[in-house]
Structure 1
């Protein structure tokens, strides 16, 4: 029995979700800070280059989330069942796989950064900037991936506030170092990537307190790589992987389509929309990660009543966040766009402001889709979580973007996200109704 997850479910929900949402906002500010300082320190070409580079960065981030969330879900189930040996082996295998993946990414990106930049859409004006950002940030790959594993394990081990502290310190340091390296030292794209790379190191330093003070119930153990165990927690984390990587896929497709309509200035405008949206998505990812220990624990304990409460609180929270986000963006679209417009280009402001207002309507559906996919994975139903994640992140959005862009131009591009999320929400509701009926039947039985 995990005492840290006992007590009134509403209080536990707040205890785990609130700090994790705050932490994910801080963590997402890594890229938003880069966006702001690059836009104001390098200009529109730097902003476009960052948008190209983030496509590849999301692959690394997605891998870290898959291993961290999947491993922590498996860890929580074993911990709740009192199986300490299996819990320790899960942590050890998650770290081993993270180190292996980071080595692959580090070598591959540094070998092929320039051709990758061209594939991503860079031209003569932006290829050097994109190449520099990719090489520097992927040199920190081991720190990004191991940090993404440690965060959910420490959170699941009864220290959600410490996990939040690690994310917030990393983010604040990133913002300060961005200012120093870009605006004071004039290091441009190198400075932005270097500042971002330091952030997970500082986060890991905070997380080490969990071990130094002896609060940890897990530790690395001597064990061989267990491919079956790795496969099982990777499957549980695959929906988180798809949620994150779908953003990169969408970014790539949108970049290439927008280049044909508006050139680099259009990609810069989309960079503003995409990076503000990155923070918005972090609110829902934070909620999803926050509920994971609660859902996994009550699932392992067979507590259907509490599981239904967790699901209800999660959906209501996602809808409330969505409504607030849409209202804020509709009211402040122009000021938000101008914050990333060093040269006061009216066309950039117009494109970005229009894009923000249309694009953000999609979060009315996206929030529920994201948290529902995570909930299914947390209760060891990764198939449903994966179906929702693939539906919203790949199938629906690719199906809509080409048709909408051909019919309605840039307006069609912005409308793609709301349309894809609304279509996926139909599948999400279907799965949730079936789950609710199954839990009710189990409770009655």
Structure 2
């Protein structure tokens, strides 16, 4: 099957319009994802119970760990599909999507089993104390013990659908679950509803992820015969070419997220030494900081199919033009948001919890975090290019540099020099170095590609 409409999008549509068509739905989806992440914090915060809010913060690394699986099969599978589309190798497209689909289901079920069996050690590892353990366990029950498989599957399916240029459908699927979660949160969390606290927020998340999965199943059924996304068991195989093609991009992306989990766990453990108020404030500021961060990430993910397709087809000029357009767009937005966050840090934190101690902590945390956003934006776009072009080694190197070499040592050092408040500046320390490295590596990459495909530059 060859869809001429999708081919026109990748090959002929003007870059600004193509980026808009692919990235706007992805950015909107990222915005709704931010609202979804903020919803748990916001509605649990309305209880004015620091312990319940701390539970959501302490559980966050486990939910972030889902992204390791999402990236392994979502980023890896979608990159493989888009590159195969650029080569017009449709059989590889089908087999790649089937491999990613069934492996994500298996990984989700294994994740649930693992976290259920090792529940006690997991709570200790997350930094839960005797006062926060029960609330954290209740939140994890629905989001992880029961909810890992649907949480992972709906994100992976969105990646696969987006890889063929259907960014709008991918985003609608993701947003349907997120919006439902926002509607259900107050019903399950607040006293006028079921009054379940943090556990209620977890239950709302579980139901919402199941609904998002249902959307994608219905979509694929209706588009059968007109989509490159294949979930037929007959197309699933462990063929070396497929496994290697998915994993060469997916494994570095997965490791990157596992390192993010490690960094967040260390950050939460340092913060928990200063009490529940500090943990709650750190969680609130991290969620606020996710708004511009996720929008930037949404843009980098949105342009990935366009980058992948034109890389595989040798159209370096279109590939480079796409990246430069995205850089200008993303940096303009991020610089504006960083200025707003720095100037209005206190009122932003107060929106989530009207507790003076938490506002004081959160104001100083947010001002530290927001300074790193412009550099993080450049890093996201660079890693997106590495993933889109199958250069998993560079993505892996950047992940190691970000966490192991730079950020985690900075957490230890800055916390020792400036107890608690220094933690918020570790990300800035790492991202400045990585942004410079990203510019250097991308410049060399494009020079090399232009030498390999000079005929495509005219």
Aligned counterpart in structure 2 of residue 194 of structure 1, from 203, 206, 209: 203
Report which stretch shifted further, 43-52 or 1-10. Answer: 1-10
Aligned counterpart in structure 1 of residue 263 of structure 2, from 250, 271, 282: 250
- Whether 2:177 is the aligned partner of 1:170: answer yes
CA contact (8 A) 2:29 2:172 kept: yes
Quote the Cα distance in structure 2 between the aligned partners of 1:245 and 1:429. 25
Quote the Cα distance in structure 1 between the aligned partners of 2:8 and 2:454. 27
> What per-residue deviation string (whole Å, max 9, x for no partner) do you get for residues 251-303 of structure 1?
2111111223x222111111111122233321122112101100011011110
In the other structure, the counterpart of 1:146 is: 153
Quote the Cα distance in structure 2 between the aligned partners of 1:84 and 1:440. 27
- Whether 2:214 is the aligned partner of 1:205: answer yes
CA contact (8 A) 2:161 2:229 kept: no
In the other structure, the counterpart of 1:409 is: 419
Structure 2 counterpart SS, 1:41: coil
- Whether 2:289 is the aligned partner of 1:277: answer yes
Aligned counterpart in structure 1 of residue 398 of structure 2, from 380, 388, 399: 388
Question: What is the 5 A alignment of 1:372-383?
Answer: 372-383=382-393
Q: CA deviation at 1:64?
A: 1.4
Quote the Cα distance in structure 1 between the aligned partners of 2:219 and 2:78. 19
CA contact (8 A) 1:42 1:188 kept: no
Q: Gaps spanning 5+ residues in structure 2: where?
A: none
Q: CA deviation at 1:42?
A: 5.9
Structure 2 counterpart SS, 1:219: coil
Q: Gaps spanning 5+ residues in structure 1: where?
A: none
Quote the Cα distance in structure 2 between the aligned partners of 1:238 and 1:79. 21
CA contact (8 A) 2:142 2:203 kept: yes
Structure 2 counterpart SS, 1:123: coil
Quote the Cα distance in structure 2 between the aligned partners of 1:80 and 1:441. 20
CA contact (8 A) 1:296 1:379 kept: yes
Structure 1 counterpart SS, 2:157: helix
Quote the Cα distance in structure 1 between the aligned partners of 2:449 and 2:64. 35
Closer/same/farther in 2, CA of residues 321 and 248 from structure 1, 3 Å limit? farther
Runs of 4+ residues over 3 Å off in structure 1: 242-247, 442-445
Report which stretch shifted further, 316-325 or 361-370. Answer: 316-325
Quote the Cα distance in structure 2 between the aligned partners of 1:351 and 1:324. 23
CA contact (8 A) 1:401 1:413 kept: yes
User: How many equivalent residue pairs?
Assistant: 442
In the other structure, the counterpart of 1:86 is: 92
Quote the Cα distance in structure 1 between the aligned partners of 2:260 and 2:213. 25
Aligned counterpart in structure 2 of residue 358 of structure 1, from 342, 361, 368: 368
Quote the Cα distance in structure 1 between the aligned partners of 2:236 and 2:220. 25
Q: CA deviation at 1:45?
A: 0.8
- Whether 2:125 is the aligned partner of 1:114: answer no
CA contact (8 A) 2:70 2:155 kept: yes
Report which stretch shifted further, 102-111 or 58-67. Answer: 58-67
Report which stretch shifted further, 325-334 or 368-377. Answer: 325-334
Q: CA deviation at 1:243?
A: 4.5
Quote the Cα distance in structure 2 between the aligned partners of 1:366 and 1:360. 10
Closer/same/farther in 2, CA of residues 359 and 84 from structure 1, 3 Å limit? same
Report which stretch shifted further, 45-54 or 209-218. Answer: 209-218
In the other structure, the counterpart of 1:318 is: 330
Report which stretch shifted further, 2-11 or 294-303. Answer: 2-11
In the other structure, the counterpart of 1:429 is: 439
In the other structure, the counterpart of 2:318 is: 306
> What per-residue deviation string (whole Å, max 9, x for no partner) do you get for residues 157-200 of structure 1?
23211111112221111011001111121011221001111222
Quote the Cα distance in structure 1 between the aligned partners of 2:201 and 2:59. 12
In the other structure, the counterpart of 2:8 is: 3
CA contact (8 A) 2:72 2:247 kept: yes
In the other structure, the counterpart of 1:218 is: 229
In the other structure, the counterpart of 1:241 is: 254
The root-mean-square deviation of aligned C-alpha atoms, in Å, is 1.9
Quote the Cα distance in structure 2 between the aligned partners of 1:275 and 1:18. 22
